[in-house]
């Protein structure tokens, strides 16, 4: 699809857009075509997405660019996009990509942040407003079969919103399952001394038990990656659990509430330094049995990581694609909860 950038209008736009972003905190800026209305032999779009939604989503805040669509392996960011129609009638979306390697990255250590500091755990949490709460379950049907997704959906204690992802990779390297949860439910654990109704306690406990059951069922998959996807203080937070070892999965689950408290504290420290985070990703280390912050993406575009090994674009196979969400549903989980309880609080 890159030949579509030979269209004079698209080429001019790309050249001007690259100039606009040349001073950003990336090691390299490039242009690419990320969508077209090209169809396969079955007559279906090769990439099923609404181009207007795709362009709006990117221009409204950018979209992370991942290696093999792995949420723990960031390459850069799709930072601007526009759609075009060439003289042959081909509709396509061109984009400007910024790659992190070689850019102005930071480390948590050099910012004076101890990422392994034990934060105080909450004495209580507010009740969850179940009437306006749901769980999102998102996956690419070419990676995760519908029958398996139906099983975990049917057992959910809350209403489920199913989102179909489109990874468009030549070879399947993993099975990504994204579960959107409100942050309070990630921060809760059975020992929280919550001042709430018995019904409220039961809702927290049911979500906790359901997530544990999903981690058990991951033992049936070949190469699963669970992305527990949430929002805290206007920052998108992911907690990644990899693999089908059920014992290790439950070990990660047993300390997830501590990772949530640690992540909330880290987000607060970055904001106090005047460099708020737009995205934060935690991973469970299966050797140390500890959660750690893999990386943060700041609102100004810089990456912060102490242990991330960035992959140079020259070392990657050709034909990079961007993971898309089919349809127009874009909110993985409500960012806010009524009564000002949208954030985890000490």
Structure-block tokens of residue 148: 């398996």
Rounded Cα distance, 111 and 43, in Å: 52
Between CA 212 and CA 227 the distance in angstroms is 14
The H or E element containing residue 143 is none
DSSP 313: G
pLDDT tens for each residue of the chain, 346 residues long? 568 888 999 999 999 999 988 766 888 899 999 888 887 777 776 666 788 998 998 998 888 888 888 899 898 889 999 999 999 889 999 999 999 888 878 899 999 999 988 888 877 788 887 667 899 999 999 899 999 999 999 989 999 999 988 766 555 678 999 999 999 999 998 877 665 667 778 888 999 999 999 999 999 999 999 999 999 999 999 999 999 999 999 999 999 999 999 999 999 999 999 999 999 999 999 999 999 999 999 988 889 998 766 655 555 544 444 544 444 333 333 222 222 233 343 3
In degrees, rounded to 5, the angle at the alpha carbon of residue 144 between the alpha carbons of residues 67 and 316 is 15
pTM for the predicted model, two decimal places:
0.83
Spatial CA neighbour of 136 closest among 103, 164, 168: 164
């Amino acid at each position: 699809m890159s030949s579509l950038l030979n269209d004079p209008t698209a080429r001019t736009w790309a050249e001007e857009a690259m100039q606009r972003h040349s001073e950003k905190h990336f090691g390299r800026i490039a242009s690419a075509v990320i969508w077209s209305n090209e169809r396969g032999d079955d007559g279906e779009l090769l990439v099923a997405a609404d181009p207007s939604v795709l362009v709006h989503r990117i221009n409204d805040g950018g979209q992370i660019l991942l290696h093999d669509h792995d949420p723990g392996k960031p390459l850069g960011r799709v930072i601007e996009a526009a759609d075009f129609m060439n003289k042959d009638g081909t509709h396509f979306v061109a984009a400007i990509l910024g790659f992190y390697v070689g850019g102005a990255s930071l480390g948590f250590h050099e910012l004076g942040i101890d990422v392994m500091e034990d934060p105080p755990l909450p004495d209580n949490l507010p009740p969850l407003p179940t009437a306006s709460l749901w769980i999102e379950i998102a996956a690419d049907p070419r990676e995760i079969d519908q029958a398996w997704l139906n099983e975990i959906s049917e057992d959910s204690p809350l209403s489920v919103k199913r989102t179909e992802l489109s990874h468009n990779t030549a070879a399947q390297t993993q099975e990504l399952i994204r579960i959107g949860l409100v942050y309070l439910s990630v921060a809760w654990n059975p020992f929280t001394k919550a001042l709430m109704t018995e019904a409220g306690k039961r809702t927290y406990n049911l979500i906790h038990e359901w997530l544990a059951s999903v981690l058990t069922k991951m033992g049936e998959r070949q190469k699963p990656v669970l992305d527990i996807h949430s929002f805290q203080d206007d920052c998108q937070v992911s907690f990644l659990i990899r693999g089908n070892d059920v014992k290790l999965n439950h070990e990660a689950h047993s300390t997830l509430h501590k990772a949530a408290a640690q992540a909330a504290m880290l987000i607060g420290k970055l904001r106090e330094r005047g460099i708020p985070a737009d995205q934060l990703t935690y991973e469970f280390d299966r050797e140390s049995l500890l959660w750690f912050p893999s990386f943060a993406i700041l609102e100004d575009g810089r990456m912060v990581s102490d242990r991330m090994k960035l992959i140079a674009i020259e070392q990657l196979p050709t034909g990079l694609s961007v993971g898309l969400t089919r349809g127009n549903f874009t909110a993985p989980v409500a960012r806010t909860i009524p009564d000002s309880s949208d954030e985890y609080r000490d």
